[in-house]
Amino acid sequence: MLWVLPGCAAPAAGSADDDPTRPVTLRLWHGWSQKDEVKAVDEALARFHRVHPNIRVETTGNVGDATVNQALRAGGPGAPDVVASFSTDNVGQYCSSGMWTDLGPFLRRSGIEKEAVFPRVMLDYTAYRGNQCALPLLADAYGLYYDKDAFEQAGIARPPRTLSEFKAAAVRLTERTADGGYRRVGFMPDFRLYENSPDRLFAQWGPAYFDGDGSARLSREPATAAFLRFQQELIDALGGYGPLERYRTTFGEEMSSQHAFRTGKLAMHLDGEWRTRLLEADRPGFRWATAPLPVPDDRPETYGRGLLTGTVVGIAHSSRHQNAAWELVRFLTTDTDQVVAFANALGNVPSTKAALASPRLRAGPGFRTFLDIARHPLSVALPPSVNGGMYVVTLREFGYAVEAGRVRDLGKGLRQLDRQIDDDTLQSAD
């Protein structure tokens, strides 16, 4: 869920004068709702309580960012002390608005060198302009799923590493029907499919979205036009936007057993690490594997990179128990055994360097690809912005127009895109 903070309402005042060794009850709000997810959260809190028996934690689950921020603006005894959010898009707002407190002083007092604990890219998406108002609490990585049987039948020896190999494989793996439809598409490039938001594949170029002053620079970023032209070339090579869109409408829901990759309608698919667990449970009638997404032909040395995002956790500025809240945040995010156990329970990528290397991590061959992406020095995250994820929504809408052929002049369209993003940023800052 993307949410934009309407204005910069001052957060309610909190306090870091509390004694974390005294009995206290903290309120933790989070977005997990499924039975196994809630069980994993409860188990994590039980581990915390064994270390800090004086701190009791009350949880409220299935809470979205809009609800959380309304409570934080209002403050009061019912507001949360600690918040876990699924949306890294909004970190720029959490930090710039002051709703989440800066964790830098807490890290320093605890002697924690954040660069030694967390991968660089995860620190990138948990801070904004020097304010470390969040820490990573498990991560998501994006890679390529592929049908090994289909590859073998098509005579393709390995997953594609460059975009030219990717396009060639997608064409070779595509099977048409006599009436012009499809039995299978090598890869569905349409941005409306499942996780195919433009920013996911665009990450393989390592683009810069903003200048140092926060101004959008997509029209001046050479990778933007290169990415959109590649996507258009791929659409054309696979039969055109209209036929592909008609085929896409035959796919099942993303989280159902009728997912298009699961049912053999796609030979390659962009997705996150969580799909490995679903495929292992569903046991589709073909062999599958995972690999990093391909990279531009002129950047083969970057192969292995990918986009990272994930859950973030922070302390509400309105909390009057910030020192006790820090003990909870520190345990959830930096205790290696806790991070590994939580990752195993939820099937997500661990968010510390030590946990990524832990022998206790349950990681089959398909999952290990995403661990490697998380460790890759060139993996990237979406940059935080004061307008939250609105710029991603704006890029996505522009991508829809480009792929449908409604943008005749790409350069002009990209300049208009930058202006729209800048206008949204100014409105968010008012």
Lookup: tokens for 218: 């997509």
The CATH number of whichever domain residue 345 belongs to comes to 3.40.190.10
Residue 263 has a CB neighbour count (10 Å cut-off) of 17
Q: Which of 349, 318, 317, 382 is nearest to 90 (CA)?
A: 382
For residue 231 the two structure tokens come to: 């996507």
What is d(CA 140, CA 38) in angstroms, rounded to the nearest whole number? 18
The answer to whether residue 391 is domain-embedded is no
Give the three-state DSSP class for 291: strand
How confident is the model over 251-255, as a mean pLDDT? 96
Report the pLDDT averaged over residues 139-144.
Answer: 98
Query: Confidence class of residue 7 from pLDDT cuts 50, 70 and 90?
Result: very low
% of the chain residues with pLDDT over 90:
85
pLDDT value for 223: 97
Lowest mean pLDDT, pick from 5-9, 118-122, 131-135, 247-251? 5-9
Q: What is the enclosing helix (H) or strand (E) of 225?
A: helix 222-237
Measure CA of the first residue to CA of the last residue in the chain; give whole Å: 23
In the listed set 243, 277, 302, which residue is the last one of a domain according to the structure? 302
Return the minimum-mean-pLDDT range out of 96-100, 152-156, 304-308, 340-344: 96-100
What stretches of 110-254 adopt beta strand conformation (E)?
A: 135-147, 175-176, 182-187
**Which tokens sit at 169?**
């494989």
Question: Tens of pLDDT along 358-376?
Answer: 999 998 899 999 999 999 9
Question: Environment class of residue 65 by beta-carbon count within 10 Å: exposed (0-12), middle (13-18) or buried (19+)?
Answer: buried
Tokens representing 22 are 């005294």
**Residue-wise pLDDT tens digits, 109-130:** 999 999 999 999 999 999 999 9
* Axis crossing angle, helix 322-334 with helix 35-51, rounded to the nearest 10: 110
**What is the b/e burial string over 360-393, where b = at least 16 CB atoms within 10 angstroms of the residue's CB?**
ebebeebbebbbbbbbbebbbbbbbbbbbbbbbb
295 or 384, greater pLDDT: 295
Residue 274 lies in a domain: yes
What's this model's pTM, rounded to 2 decimal places? 0.93
Residues in CB range of 82: below 8 A, 6 or more apart: 26, 27, 28, 29, 313, 314, 315, 316, 319, 325, 328, 329
Domain boundary, last residue among 252, 269, 302: 302
Which residues, 6 or more positions from 117, have their beta carbon under 8 angstroms from its beta carbon?
334, 352, 353, 354
Domain contains 381: no
Verify that 133 and 155 share a domain, yes or no.
no
Whether 6 shows a pLDDT value over 90: the answer reads no
Instruction: Look at residue 41 and tell me if it is in a domain.
Output: yes
Render pLDDT for 168-184 as a digit per residue (tens, 0 to 9): 999 999 999 999 899 99
pLDDT at 11 over 80: no
pLDDT of residue 3: 37
| Residue 135 sits in the same domain as residue 148 | no
The pLDDT of residue 208 is above 80: yes
48 and 173 both lie in a single domain = no
User: Is there a contact between 101 and 14 (Cβ–Cβ < 8 Å)?
Assistant: yes
Q: Identify whether residues 284 and 147 lie together within a single domain.
A: yes
* Residue 118 lies inside a defined structural domain of this protein: yes
What ranges in 347-403 are assigned the alpha helix state H? 353-356, 365-375, 390-403
Dihedral (C-alpha) 203, 135, 123, 381: value to the nearest 10 degrees?
10
Domain co-membership, 153 together with 244 = yes
pLDDT tens by residue, 325-362: 999 999 999 999 999 999 999 999 999 999 999 999 99
Last residue of a domain, one of 323, 343, 370: 370
Three-state DSSP state, 140: strand
Is there a single domain that holds both residue 289 and residue 256? yes
Nearest-10 crossing angle of helices 222-237, 163-173: 20
Q: Are residues 237 and 194 in the same domain?
A: yes
pLDDT exceeds cutoff 70 at 22: yes
Judge whether 204 lies within some domain. Answer: yes
Q: Are residues 152 and 34 in the same domain?
A: no
Banded model confidence at residue 202, pLDDT cuts 50, 70, 90: very high
What is the pLDDT at residue 430? 57
Q: Residue 379: pLDDT above 50?
A: yes
Whether 393 is covered by a domain: the verdict is no
> How many separate domains does the chain show?
2
Token representation of residue 299:
């950047």
Same domain membership, residue 170 and residue 73: no
Residue 90's pLDDT band (cuts 50, 70, 90): confident
Do 298 and 186 fall within a single domain?
Answer: yes
Asked if residue 283 and residue 170 are part of one domain, the reply reads: yes
Digit-coded pLDDT (tens) for 26-55: 999 999 999 999 999 999 999 999 999 999
Neighbours of 243 (CB within 10 A): 16
Both 155 and 251 in one domain: the answer is: yes
Domain span at residue 347? 24-140+308-370
- pLDDT per residue as tens digits for the range 276-324: 999 999 889 999 999 999 999 999 999 999 999 999 999 999 999 999 9
Number of H helices and E strands in the chain, helices first, is: 18, 9
> Which residues contact residue 199 at a Cβ distance below 8 angstroms, ignoring those fewer than 6 apart?
307, 382, 392, 395, 396
Q: Answer yes or no: is pLDDT of 230 > 50.
A: yes
Q: Is residue 417 part of a domain?
A: no
